[in-house]
Amino acid sequence: MADKLWTKNVQMTQEIEKFTIGRDREMDLYLAPYDVLGSMAHITMLQTIGLLTADELQLLLKELRKIYDETLNGSFVIEEGVEDVHSQVELMLTRRLGDIGKKIHSGRSRNDQVLVDLKLFIRDQIRELATLTLNLFNELIAQSNRYKDVLMPGYTHLQVAMPSSFGLWFGAYAESLVDDMQYLLAAWKITNRNPLGSAAGYGSSFPLNRQLTTDLLGFDSMDYNVVYAQMGRGKTERNVAFSMASIAGTIAKMAFDACMFSNQNFAFVKLPDNCTTGSSIMPHKKNPDVFELTRAKCNKLQALPQTITLIMNNLPSGYFRDLQIIKEAFLPAFDELKDCLKMSAYIIEKMKVNEHILDNPIYDNMFSVEEVNRLAKDGMPFRDAYKKVGLDIEAGQFTPDKHIHHTHEGSIGNLCNDRITALMQQIADGFQFQKMDQAIQALLATGDPTPLLS
């Protein structure tokens, strides 16, 4: 069994060790490549302040690049008896390089180490979420444009209300994703600040160059105050979780609509056959299980911010082991949301709409407001027009005019999809992922990464 990084003379009991480690070894596999990147930046900085020689740095960087590759190809494991990913990486370096491997922890704590790991992990996950959200957005805009002239009933209180259109329906969820992307961009900006160098939350007596590690890892800035950097643990995850919950809320609502509208009593849309499931007893069934599961998964994701809040809400400043438990809820949530985004985009792209819904006379009365507005436009007072049309409906004498002529922004005849698309692109451009990519590529390149920062 490997010694813990903090081991002195007293060994803890196996029961206590099992309880305190919990699922950390499993969860830390999500963070493994990012722990390596953080270490590479940290030791590069250590060499500039004289805590490593140039030769020691190159030996360490070479081995860390090998370990990084192992984290990507699946051969990296956190061994039994090793407490976490930080311990495993240091153990591997020490086995391969001897005492040189023991030098990498100078000037840092596992507290700021896991903070930077989490932020690097979150950055990559936000990039994937942004890409997948944009993909779903594009499918929704495409369907909105494709079916922009096909009318459908709009509902209030789940009662037939006024004319809507598939252009509006698809486009509404597209624009909802624009606001979700704005929230995700805010989460990105909060995340993209460097906590490394805050150590256990109170800084270090070593003359650390925190700006250098900030640049090496492609952060926009650092978390300047070392106490606040530590206070960011839990807060960062909660803020990101709120942005994820926002996306999940949009998808859950859309999934509910899709399930309802594909019901035979509505028959507004048809889901692709290969996206439905059957019944063990009823041979005619085509169940929208994918959207039902999507709805459930997204509803669960909307509880994530509250889960994180309840774990860290009553903690004072400083580090507490409570924060470890956040990983178990937070880290796997990204894969779940990404799956929901992928499935939704796939089905939306293949969804077919019923272009003859309004042939059914049960929808005739939803054109009543159009008639009221026509009469008002011709000079009849609105309240009189309202009463006349209402009496005509009660008497069975209302004949609808189903030709809709809306022109104001965002209405049936003027969807503004071009403006919605431009707004989404403006937000997407705000992430500037290329800065992060360039820094990480320089860090992984052979040689000294510091000259590549200029």
Which of the residues are catalytic? 157, 279
Closest CA relative to residue 443, chosen from 221, 212, 196: 212
Residue 52 — left, alpha, or beta (φ > 0 → left; ψ -120 to 50 → alpha)? beta
Instruction: Give the tokens for residue 102.
Output: 């023991």
- Give Cα 15 to chain centroid, integer Å: 36
The answer to whether 93 touches 64, Cβ cutoff 8 Å, is: yes
Query: What count of other Cβ atoms lies within 10 Å of the Cβ of residue 425?
Result: 14
Query: What would the two tokens of residue 161 be?
Result: 């209300």
The SS3 of residue 270 is: strand
How far, in Å, CA of 297 to CA of 276, rounded?
17
The tokens of 277 are what?
A: 């499931």
- Look-up: residue for tokens 């960062």? 236
The CA angle 185-122-128, to the nearest 5 degrees, is 70
> Mapping DSSP to helix (H, G, I), strand (E, B) and coil, where does residue 288 land?
coil
Q: Could you give the CA distance from residue 278 to residue 271 in angstroms, rounded to a whole number? A: 13
The amino acid at residue 238 is R
